[in-house]
Chains A and B, each alone.
Chain A
Amino acid sequence: MSEFHMQIMDIDYIMLENRPVIRIFGRCDDRKTACVLVKGFDPYYYVLPMHGEEAALREFLNKRFQDQVASIEEVERFLPFGYSESPTKLLKIVGKDPSKVKDMRDEIWKEGLAKKIFEADILFKYRYMADKDLHGMRWYKVTGNPVSTSIVKSDRTVELVSMEPAEERPSNLKVMAVDIEISTPEGLPDAKKDPIIMISFAFLPDHAGKNTTVLVAKPTKQAEGVHSFINEAEMLQEFLKTVDSYNPDIITGYNLNNFDMPYIMERLIINGLPRTIGRCTSKSMVSREFAGKTRNSMVGRLIADDYELIKEMQVKTQLADKGFPKLKRYGLGDVSKALLNDTKDDVSHKEIPILWNGSQDDVIRLAEYARKDAELALRLLLEKNLLDKFFEISKVSGVLMQDVLDGGEATRVENILLREFNKRNYLLPLKPSSNEMEKRMNERDALGFKGALVLEPIAGLHTKPVVYLDFKSMYPTIFISFNICPTTFVASESGYKGEVIETPMGAKFVSKSTKIGIVPQIVQHLISERDRLRREAKNTKDERLRKIFESKQIAVKYMTNSFYGYTGYVRARIYSLAVATAVTACGRMLIERTSASVSKHKDMRVIYGDTDSIMVEVNAGDAPGAYVLGTELEKEINKSLEGLVEIKIENVFTSLLILSKKRYAGISMEPRGDEWEEKTVMKGIETVRRDWCDLTGETLNNTLNIILREKNPKKALAYIKEIIIALGKNEIPVEKLVVTKSISKSLKEYKGVQPHIEVMKKMRKRDPSTAPGIGDRIGYVIVHGTQMMSMRAEDPDFVKANNLRVDSKYYIENQILPPLERVFEAIGISKSEVLGAGKMLTIMEAMKNVQKVEKKALGSFEGVMCDKCSQSYRRPPIIGRCDSCGGHLSFFSGDDRSKTANF
């Protein structure tokens, strides 16, 4: 008998002698890998037969699926929708092969023998995990009988005797970063044609005494940590051996999912090599494509793409002020520079084939470049703790790590629901069919769906202090306070006469004394757990532990907030329009009641409210004074809400600029002990964009600062006018006017005329050796001239060297003004006042640039083309003008143009 502690990484199943065997993969606390085999667990589901058809159903199953049905038993369970005092009798059908459950389910429907079917589409691994209460990434004490098998790659393989939760302990996970290099003189790499020339690794912990290794696909001179091979096939064999011998738990890289992994897969196939990179000797790595993204997975290991994790952090958690600044570009070099203060080696994309085909020293230089890439990828994952939040989500929700990274919130919520429903003898419905979804949508059509309340803001600059009050976990608390749950819902036709809680739109739920809903129980547990974790984080002096508690409480917060969105999600199993509507109705009622409380005070007014927060302007001289008033208001509102939900004062804005709903900027003051922490808060206002030059971002930031800090819109306007005048006088440094765009395909694949492509062509003509190529990011400046805009794009160095004049009109109208327009609109300054002299220039230029067009109608045409910038379209845009420059359109056929066509 063998006993050890293991952290669960992955679970799957295989069929052995026509029965499923579950495999649990993980890493033990003695650093060995383990695989636990579980026999004797079968798939099952539930059927509520049509009235009087139970016998017919049994007969049908026994005849049609005699080889697949292990047993049929009568059981009692509660159905998921609507309050019921007693459970319902159903049949529990136990199968022998998880992959046949779907067929059985479909056939039962076709025969018309089932009124309802439950849980016949739960993935077998999650069925097992739910029944045994196993969670991804948690620790378990395993007792098992060692077995010898060649089906898994594991240090120890046992057949399960028992598995119990164990105390959490530090992980021993092994992490390997991978990066590949391809040599393509022209065009983008094509996995079908272009071989991999190098594969670099970075390891933690070390592998064979090394923390990095580079494999090279041709004979090369000796160098530290560089191994050369005759050709790609040999190199790939070594790649496979390295993965096997190192046996990582996590494989990472930058853009691994969409580039390196699929590329490696394709090259393995072409070279006739196996793709069993995971911990199973027979199952290959799987690569799936949807919506232009590739998802890769392998048995027993986690694939974690740094690029995707960083974008997720940026977009979803907006950690701009927590060490994740918003960047214009997300290349490995840019991200490493911003987050690690380190960057890639200085080798450009087009230098790669030159070095590869150069001297031995050149090849080694390229190998060092490749090595650095792998190192940076590993460092990003580990130093920035990119996976911490997801580890905790896996532990809380039970979902396995790869599914946490690849799946959505619905998967996580449903996992929790499955467990909690089953524990209380409730069943989960199937995922909705397309007919069911159509029905749900029609229901929404008929009954309507009102979402959260967003009050119309009082737009403009608020110079009096504004108190920001926030409802603590509003939606989760609403679930609890009103006992809202599909299992407590009282349908009007149910005839239930007991005590109920009625929500603002009329939906009723049984009282808590009758039965506490499952969703409220889940949410209550999560809220309590989060409070506990926050207390632990506050009380601990150990920085490492504090970070762990922080990650855990963030994960719990995400899970808690996911429940509301889930109930209104039409693809959800437990979709309930009544529940989702009830929750938002309660939210709206709370905001309205709060707003009414505030309006009783003559010296206060609500200037904005959004879903679960409210902004109140108060009559105070400073932030501390406003905070005191805000605290009194908080007490008053909480009293009026009678404990339903709690509101809390978060901070005071000493100045606040509201542009529109969900768009504002302000100077926030928040008490920290005896001190006040000041920071600039911006919501919904971008200050960094890829298609902006630096001057744009800088001007916007400075303008906002002047408005907010100096509370002087006129001064801000004067500042912008200075910028416009400086532009007109060519006094702005060229570096600040550079717009960048990447070259993602070959020249011939680009349709139409584009500024960055025109610059590339010019640079190639001038000096082919230094001109940028595919994969490079190219900067350009628009200079003064009469040609269309794209043709006036120029290399910044050339502009400086030749003292060219920039096109001030372009920068004023297309760069500086658009982001500022809303800002000035909100503070009551008209666009014409801002434009001033710039506008006159625009009209005159436009008149000069309109091309002459033919008058004769074209018999047939290829499309329409802009008279100003020559952008072509298959048919006119709805606005009737060119999208890019607002120019008029003419029909064109070859070189012919006309304002009319005959058709």
Chain B
Amino acid sequence: MCLWPSGLPYCWVFFTRKKFLVRVTSHGVLKMAESEEEVDVLVQRVVKDITNAFKRNPNIDEIGVIPCPEARYNRSPIVLVENKLGVESWCVKFLLPYVHNKLLLYRQRKHWLDREALVDITCTLLLLNPDFTTAWNVRKELLQCGVLNPEKDLYLGKLALTKFPKSPETWIHRRWVLQQILRQFSVVGRSRKQQQQQGEAEQADGERSQQLSDHLARTLHQEMKVCSDAACRYPSNYNAWSHRIWVVQHMAKGNFKVFHDELSSMRLWVSMHVSDHSGFHYRQFLLKELITELSQTPASTTTCSPQHQSSTVPSVNPHHHSDTQANGELSGAEAAGEDERQLSLTTVLHLFHQEMELCSDLIQSFPGHETLWSHRRHVFYLWHQWRREHQHRCSNNGSSESVHLNNSDPGLTEVGAQSCAGRGESVNGQRHASEPMEIDRAPLPDPRDSKRLKRGVLLPAPPGLPCEHSFVSSILDRCSNPEQRRFALAYKKWLDTVMGPQP
């Protein structure tokens, strides 16, 4: 049955290497194709089929090549089943060189293509060969002159990544497109600000700005999804994870909540991908950013750029500090500031503690994974660094890890831990009436906690060097897995030489 409109049959095989064209008739007999023009028509039709498939189903979510060495039926090699777009493999070998050469001839000004043809040809080309940089560049130009919109290109890239999840050029193009979106956003943000200064703020403009910030939040969310999908398709996908870092750095700068949400959602992911070094690195990156943010001095807590303040992604910033007066007395506002600072410090300890605990659990549950031991090094290093940098506010009493947040009154805000080898128990098990923001399914300390802190309630803190040594010993004592032992010994050596000798 012929499924396609009349005209030339689809079942052609082109032996381009020998520069002559052959077709398969309905009886499977090879016949010479009449002319090169016919090939032209046929390939153009396949390109059109691809374009039409996207028109018929705008929700295509995956592409693939269907293994099919020969054209057997008189039907299009483009197959659309539900949301999956397939290309029969027999046609790729002639389709790709054709669209490739067409675009290069256009680039050399030897052959004219109108805008519509350029859009179709680059689409086909990039779905087959997404590292063809110049084809993405052609699309950048089309985008700049308004023929394409940014969402279309993000969508095309997303599809290419379903088949080629590492493709560096696809990720590079995404970053460029996202920058265009961000630029649009900041232009509107600036003009609104100017109008406000002139006292001419208009409601319509406010709505436009709101729409844009909704749009930005949606784009951010979609981008995370694209990264996750690519990370699941290819383990330790460097390009996907470094893109995700770029995205939060550029699209959620200073947005505390986004970083927290990311850390929460990553917890399950890394627990299910214990070999994925890149996924764990992303977690380390988030942790470091959060801790830096929480530890910032009052003077430098201008964390939200104007363009992000109006974002619908709420910007939660639980630490608006104020300086303590020289005489040590605190006004009402200052006392609140001090509370907040203590809360930030508690949060930092909480984050470190939870991370070490997660790491211990995973190391014990999944022995022999270098990634987990490497994660432990990184987190311990971060903790060690942080503690050293905040020595003026924290004093370390040996292995009990009692941390005093204010040297002048150690009893006031003592935060300690009996945590050893990441097995610490939370002493503060009280639940709060209202639901505070969650990190990794455990609530962040509530501001009211600082009152409890003042009463000397102990909160868990991450382990110190002696605890790490006993963690290693406990692994070595119990575990016979040779890989696990090798990594445990390497960690011990790392503690001794990089972190300083055992006291």
Chain A partners chain B? no
Interface set of B (CB-CB < 8 Å, partner A): none
